[in-house]
Amino acid sequence: MEFSLTSIQEAHKLYTGPDFPKLIKAFKSMEMITNIFDLETGIVTYINRSGDILESTGIKVEFNICETGKYEEAIFALQRNQRGESDFYTFCNEVAKAGIYKWISDLDAMTCS
């Protein structure tokens, strides 16, 4: 797959919740190395191995994000989404209420912080 917003959007439509590992595999096939999702601004940034940067509009929460992290609530929201019990919009709102305003996925290291 080519590194384009169209390909990224198609992958998002195909793979959600329990299919997250397939989404990561699709991203890696595009040579994506970093994905930054910002719930405060609603901007999603994708960076590939060549250093090309794509940005798109994602989900922007319409309330003040909790200033105190609530680890257990964030983990619960993540686990629910991974089991397919919530959609991505719900997941984003739940983690924002738990104090997460942004995450950065490193597809080489396979980490998310």
What CATH number is attached to the domain comprising 73? 3.30.1810.10
Q: What is the pLDDT of residue 85?
A: 92
For residue 57, the model assigns a pLDDT of 95
Residue range(s) defining the domain that contains residue 96 = 5-112
Total of domains in the chain: 1
Q: Per-residue pLDDT for the chain (113 aa), expressed as one digit of tens each?
A: 899 999 999 998 998 778 888 999 999 999 999 999 999 999 999 999 999 999 999 999 989 898 889 999 999 999 998 888 998 899 999 999 999 999 999 999 999 99
CA angle (24, 46, 4) in 5-degree steps: 85
Look at residue 19 in the predicted model and tell me its pLDDT.
86
Q: What integer pLDDT is reported at residue 29 of this predicted model?
A: 97
pTM reported for the whole predicted model: 0.89
The pLDDT of residue 67 is 87
Sheet holding 43-48, edge to edge: 53-57, 43-48, 32-38, 102-106, 111-112
Q: Which two tokens stand for residue 91?
A: 């997941």
